[in-house]
Structure 1
Amino acid sequence: MYKEPVFLKPVFQERIWGGGKLQELFNYDIPSQTTGEAWVISAHENGPSIVMNGELEGKNLSEVWRNYPQLFGCDITDREFPLLVKILDAHDQLSVQVHPDDHYADESIHKPCGKTECWYILDCEEDAEIIIGHQAQSREEFQQLVGRGEWSKLFQSLKVKKGDFVYVPSGTVHSIGKGIVILETQQSSDITFRLYDYDRVDHEGKKRELHLEQAMAVMTCPHKQVVQDNLKESMNNLESTRLIEGEYFTVYHWKLGGRAEVPLTTGFLLVSVINGTGQIVTKESVSTVKKGDNFIVPATIGDYFIDGDLEMIVSHT
């Protein structure tokens, strides 16, 4: 079974802050010019990806995870598919928000996991900014600044550029700024607590719901900056940069210039092609890959190599 990559079809999510960059950059067939997210590798109930090739074509990733554990090389009893990979187009500023950890998600809202995530900046406008963290030293100070609406004093902004990487553990106050396109690797969770939404209204003139109490309960205070050192390795024609090695995922940036043998893993890899074209060659198949493709390298693939001029974001648990 599957001596080739398992290609997946993106699921699109329209958002008040979305735009048209997913079509412009990746040639995706988006539903509207307010498309905020492409869930490109997802087994989440709110948008599972569909297999596009092979004997499981047409099945969603959630049922493949449950019924074909050999593809993943691990014991998946009573576990959800662990990760969710998205591409986000922030045509406008996202709300300032925070996500819970596993304990809060389980105990308070009976969800299987919280949400730790990370961002690779695929594209952004000049002087684009994110919000990452806050400047309050206590929850009391945080509440006071919220009560006075002193958002510029409260939130901590950071300029970003294409190719930057940001780690966002659960509990981190954050927001993606206007004009930024990111690839996000995260736990498979859709829990968001909004702190502030710039007083925006939707097409019906209504403000979106805020979740101040829950956000205050789960946020890290004072903010803790997490710094991860990149680890670069060169393997023949493959330059591999480990961006994060964390509790929930390890994420790499791979830059390929020619043919490269790929180190075997005991499990599976999630791969998003962010630039270029190439081929994945196994003993039994040749698969063409290009910018915008997203796939799983299954545990069953055997020996393989990659050939071409490619940039990829690669992750595993």
Structure 2
Amino acid sequence: MYKEPVFLKPVFQERIWGGGKLQKLFDYDIPSQTTGEAWVISAHENGPSIVMNGQLKGMSLKEIWQGYPQLFGFDIADSEFPLLVKILDANDQLSVQVHPDDFYAKELVSQPSGKTECWYILDCDEGAEIIIGHQAKSREEFQRLVVNGEWGNLFQSLKVKKGDFVYVPSGTLHSIGKGIVILETQQSSDITFRLYDYDRVDGEGKKRELHLEQAMAVMTCPHKEVVQDNVKEQLNNLESTRLIQGEYFTVYHWKLGGKAEIPVKNSFLLVSVINGVGQIVTEESISTVKKGDNFIVPATIGDYFIDGDLELIVSHT
């Protein structure tokens, strides 16, 4: 079964801060010019991806995870699909927010997992910034700065450029800045606690809900910088850069310039094509892949290679 990639259809989410770049950059058929997110590999109930090819065409990723665990290297899938991959278009600043870890997710909102995530910057305006972390030395100082609205003294900003990578463990205060498009790999969770939202109002003139108490309960204080050790390998026509190897996921940037055998074996892979065109060739199939495609390489695929001029973001648990 499935000696070929499992291609998935994106699920779009409209957001107050969204725009039209998902159409411009990836030729996606977005629902509006305020489309903030494409959930491109998702088994989450708030936006499950649908299989576009093969014997399981039309089924959701959640259904095949539960019904066909052998595709993922398991006899029985006794848990939720672990990861969620999104592409976000921040046409405006996102709220300053924080996500809980697994413990707080269970304790505060009765959800099975928290949310550690990471961002690969696909595109951004010159001088674009993110907020990552804060400057408070204690929870008392943090609370005082929040109560007094001293956001400039609280938030820690960082300029970013195309190709940058940012790791955002649960508990990290963060915000994606205006003019940034990212590919996000995260735990399969949709829990967000907003600390600050720039006093914005929606189409009905209402401010979005804040979660001050929960945000201050789950955030890490003082902020902890995470040092990322990129590991580069040149494997003939494949330049592989391991961006992060963490508790919940390992993420790579792959750049191909011709035919390449794949170094990661004995695991299912989540793959997003961020540039170029090429082919995946197995013993039984040849699949064309292009910018904007998202797919899973199942554990059942057997021997295969990729050929073409491609940039890929690849992850696994």
Q: Which secondary structure does the structure 2 equivalent of 1:277 belong to?
A: strand
TM-score normalised over the length of structure 2? 0.99
In the alignment, the residues of structure 2 paired with residue 67 and residue 184 of structure 1 have an alpha-carbon distance, to the nearest angstrom, of 27
- Give the AA of the match of 1:94: L
**Letter aligned with residue 166 of structure 2:** V
Q: Percent identity?
A: 85
Aligned residue number for residue 271 of structure 2: 271
| Structure 2 counterpart of 1:199 | 199
Q: Tell me what 2:162 maps to.
A: 162
Instruction: Indicate the residue corresponding to 2:182 in structure 1.
Output: 182
Aligned counterpart, 1:54: 54
Task: Give 2:292's aligned residue.
Answer: 292
Match of 1:242 in 2: 242
CA distance, structure 2, for counterparts of residue 208 and residue 198 of structure 1: 10
1:114-153 equivalences in 2 (<5 Å):
114-153=114-153
Question: Counterpart in 2 of 1:27?
Answer: 27
One-letter amino acid matched to 2:174 = H
- Is the partner of 2:258 in helix, strand or coil? strand
The Cα of 1:265 is off from its aligned counterpart by 1.6
**1:267: Cα distance to partner?**
1.7
* 1-structure distance, mates of 2:75, 2:257: 35
- What is the letter of the counterpart of residue 70 of structure 1? Q
Query: Which ranges of 4 or more aligned residues in structure 1 deviate by more than 2 Å?
Result: 74-78
Q: What is the aligned partner in structure 2 of residue 217 from structure 1?
A: 217
Equivalent residue for 2:253? 253
Q: 1:209 to 1:260 in 2, by over 3 A?
A: same
- Judge conservation of contact 1:130–1:159 (CA < 8 Å) in 2: yes
Question: Distance in 2 between the 1:90 and 1:109 partners?
Answer: 27
CA distance in 1, matches of 2:240, 2:207: 44
Structure 1: which 5+ runs fail to align? Answer: none
Q: Aligned to 1:191, what secondary structure does the other structure show? A: coil
> Displacement of 1:76 after TM fit?
4.7
Between the aligned partners of 1:234 and 1:149, the Cα distance in structure 2 is: 49
Q: Distance in 1 between matches of 2:79 and 2:72?
A: 12
Hey, what's the Cα distance between the residues in 2 that align with 1:75 and 1:253?
30
Name structure 2 gaps, 5 residues minimum: none
**What is the DSSP-based 3-state SS (H/G/I as helix, E as strand, rest coil) of the residue aligned with 1:55?**
coil
Deviates more, 1:99-108 or 1:202-211: 99-108
The residue aligned with 2:63 is: 63
Question: How many equivalent pairs are there?
Answer: 317
Match of 2:13 in 1: 13
Kindly indicate whether the alpha-carbon contact (under 8 Å) linking 2:69 and 2:77 is maintained by their aligned counterparts in 1.
no
CA–CA separation in structure 1 for the residues paired with 2:163 and 2:263: 24
Are the equivalent residues in 2 in contact too, given 1:273–1:313 (CA < 8 A)? yes
Paired with 2:314 and 2:52, the residues of 1 have a C-alpha distance of 19
| Displacement after TM superposition at 1:74 (Å) | 2.6
